[in-house]
Amino acid sequence: MKATKTSATRLNVISSGWNLVFVILLAFVALFILVPMLLIFVVSFSSELSIANRGYSFWPEAWTLDGYKYLFKTGDQLANSYLITSFYTVTGTLMSMTVMTMFSYVIAQRNFPLCRALTWMLFFTMLFSGGLVPSYILNVRYLRINDTVWIFLLPSLVNAFYTIILRTFIQTTIPETLFEAARIDGAGHFRVFTSIVLPLFKTGIATVGLFNVVTRWNDWFIGMLYIRNPKLIPLQTMLTKIQDSIEFIKQNASIAGTPDGIALLRTLPDENLRMACTIVVILPILMAYPFFQRFFVRGLTVGSIKG
Amino acid sequence: MLMNQMKVRKKWRREHNTLLAMAAPTIVYLLLFCYIPMVGLVMAFQNLDISKGIFNSPFVGLRNFEFLFSSSDAYIITRNTVLYNLVFIVFNMSVSVSAALLLSSMRSALFAKTMQTIYMMPYFLSWAVVAIVVNAFLDRDNGLVNAMMESLGRKSTTNWYHQMRIWPPLLVLVNAWKGVGYQTVLYLAVITGISTDYYEAAVLDGASKWQQARYITIPHLRFIVGISIILSMAHIFRGDFGLFYNVPMNSGRIFPVTDVIDTYIYRALTYLSNVGMSTAAGLYQSVVGFFMVLIVNWIVTRLDPDSAMF
Per-residue pLDDT tens over the stretch B247-272:
999 888 999 999 999 999 999 999 88
ipTM: 0.88
Interchain pair B279, A274: CB under 8 A: no
Average pLDDT, chain A: 85
Instruction: Please choose, from the candidates A7, A307, A2, the residue with its C-alpha nearest in 3D space to the C-alpha of residue A160.
Output: A307
Residue A104: the pLDDT is 95
Cross-chain CB nearest to A118 (options B23, B39, B266): B23
pLDDT of residue B154 exceeding 60: yes
pLDDT of residue B35 exceeding 90: yes
Q: Which residues of B touch A241 (CB under 8 A)?
A: none
| Backbone torsions φ then ψ of B208, nearest 5 degrees | -80, 170
Q: What percent of chain A has pLDDT over 90?
A: 46
In a domain? residue B27: no
Residue-wise pLDDT for B199-226, tens only, equals 888 888 888 888 888 888 888 888 788 8
Which residue of B lies nearest to A140 if distances are taken between CA atoms? B50
Q: Which residues of B touch A114 (CB under 8 A)?
A: 16, 19-20, 23
pLDDT of residue A107 exceeding 80: yes
Chain B interface, mutation test: which of A95, A129, A289, A293, most B Cβ atoms within 10 Å? A129
pLDDT of residue A4 exceeding 60: no
User: Range with the lowest mean pLDDT among A60-74, A256-270, B190-204, B253-267?
Assistant: A256-270
Q: Which fold, A75-228? A: MetI-like fold (1.10.3720)
Residue A300: the pLDDT is 67
Q: What mean pLDDT do residues A101-126 have?
A: 93
Average pLDDT, chain B: 89
Between A and B, how many residue pairs show a Cβ–Cβ distance under 8 A? 314
Residue B310: the pLDDT is 75
Residue A248: the pLDDT is 63
pLDDT of residue B42 exceeding 80: yes
Distance from the B84 Cα atom to the nearest Cα atom in chain A, whole angstroms = 21
Interchain pair B40, A134: CB under 8 A: yes
Distance from the B53 Cα atom to the nearest Cα atom in chain A, whole angstroms = 8
Whole-angstrom Cα distance, residue B284 to residue A79? 42
- Cβ neighbours of residue A240 under 8 Å, at least 6 residues apart? A220, A224, B128, B131, B246
Q: Which residues of A touch B127 (CB under 8 A)?
A: 218, 220
For the domain that residue B163 is a member of, what is the CATH number?
A: 1.10.3720.10
pLDDT of residue B3 exceeding 50: no
* Secondary structure string (H, E, C) spanning chain B: CHHHCCCCCCCCCCHHHHHHHHHHHHHHHHHHHHHHHHHHHHHHHECCCCCCCCCCCCECCCHHHHHHHHCCHHHHHHHHHHHHHHHHHHHHHHHHHHHHHHHHCCCCHHHHHHHHHHHHHHHHCCHHHHHHHHHHHHCCCCCHHHHHHHHCCCCCCCCHHHCHHHHHHHHHHHHHHHHHHHHHHHHHHHHHCCCHHHHHHHHHCCCCHHHHHHHHHHHHHHHHHHHHHHHHHCCCCCCCHHHHHHCCCCCHHHHHHHCCHHHHHHHHHHCCCCHHHHHHHHHHHHHHHHHHHHHHHHHHHHHCHHHCCC
pLDDT of residue A299 exceeding 80: no
- Residue A132 or B108, more confident: A132
In a domain? residue B95: yes
pLDDT of residue A18 exceeding 70: yes
Radius of gyration of chain A (CA): 25
Instruction: Please choose, from the candidates B159, B154, B228, B147, the residue with its C-alpha nearest in 3D space to the C-alpha of residue B187.
Output: B228
How sure is the predictor about B7, in pLDDT bands with cuts at 50, 70 and 90?
Answer: very low
Q: Which residues of A touch B39 (CB under 8 A)?
A: 130, 134
User: Range with the lowest mean pLDDT among A269-273, B35-39, B162-166, B224-228?
Assistant: A269-273
Distance from the A57 Cα atom to the nearest Cα atom in chain B, whole angstroms = 6
In a domain? residue B154: yes
Interchain pair B36, A43: CB under 8 A: no
Cross-chain CB nearest to A138 (options B23, B37, B128): B37
Give the domain extent around B97. 44-307
Residue B33: the pLDDT is 97
Residue A1: the pLDDT is 36
Distance from the A211 Cα atom to the nearest Cα atom in chain B, whole angstroms = 10
Cross-chain CB nearest to B200 (options A11, A102, A135): A11
How sure is the predictor about A253, in pLDDT bands with cuts at 50, 70 and 90?
Answer: low
pLDDT of residue B169 exceeding 80: yes
Residue B163: the pLDDT is 92
Residue A12: the pLDDT is 54
First-to-final CA distance of chain B: 6
pLDDT of residue B130 exceeding 60: yes
pLDDT of residue B140 exceeding 90: no
User: Range with the lowest mean pLDDT among A23-32, A37-46, A261-270, B18-27?
Assistant: A261-270
CB A278 within 8 A of CB B129: yes
pLDDT of residue B235 exceeding 70: yes
pLDDT of residue A79 exceeding 90: no
Cross-chain CB nearest to B121 (options A33, A57, A121): A33
Cross-chain CB nearest to B115 (options A26, A128, A183): A26
Interchain pair B126, A15: CB under 8 A: no
Domain count, chain B: 1
Distance from the A296 Cα atom to the nearest Cα atom in chain B, whole angstroms = 9
Domain boundaries in chain A?
75-228
Interchain pair B23, A102: CB under 8 A: yes
Distance from the B182 Cα atom to the nearest Cα atom in chain A, whole angstroms = 8
Instruction: Please choose, from the candidates B264, B165, B131, the residue with its C-alpha nearest in 3D space to the C-alpha of residue A246.
Output: B131
Q: Which residues of B touch A188 (CB under 8 A)?
A: 15, 18
In a domain? residue B19: no
pTM of structure: 0.88
pLDDT of residue A223 exceeding 90: yes
How sure is the predictor about A192, in pLDDT bands with cuts at 50, 70 and 90?
Answer: confident
Residue A186: the pLDDT is 78
Interchain pair A275, B285: CB under 8 A: no
In a domain? residue B106: yes
pLDDT of residue A197 exceeding 90: no
Q: Which residues of A touch B196 (CB under 8 A)?
A: 4, 8, 11
